[in-house]
Amino acid sequence: MPAKSKAQQMAAGAALSAKRGETRRSELKGASKEMYESMSEKQLEDFASTKRKGKPGHASKD
């Protein structure tokens, strides 16, 4: 499942970095912290690897 916005992609990237031990879990905030706790490394890779072209800054709540 691809990320719907640039913000979601960036949050997934931060969570993925923490899952891999590259950054501390304590540095995560908001959505990235929730993603870290609820998603697998594979799911985070899918979100973080989404192309940014044409994505809005933030997804609408629809």
Position 53 in a domain: no
- For the chain, the domain total comes to 1
Contacts of 33 (CB under 8 A, 6+ apart): 15, 25
Residue with tokens 């908001």: 30
Position 43 in a domain: yes
Position 55 in a domain: no
Global pTM exceeds 0.85: no
C-beta of residue 50 within 8 angstroms of C-beta of residue 2: yes
Which residue in 4, 31, 60, 51 sits closest to 14, CA to CA? 31
Could you tell me the residue range of the domain that residue 32 belongs to?
6-48
Q: What is the pLDDT of residues 12-38, one digit of tens each?
A: 999 999 999 999 999 999 999 999 999
Position 54 in a domain: no
Q: pLDDT exceeding 70 applies to what percent of the chain?
A: 81
Of residues 16 and 56, the one with the higher pLDDT is 16
Look up residue 43 and give its DSSP letter: H
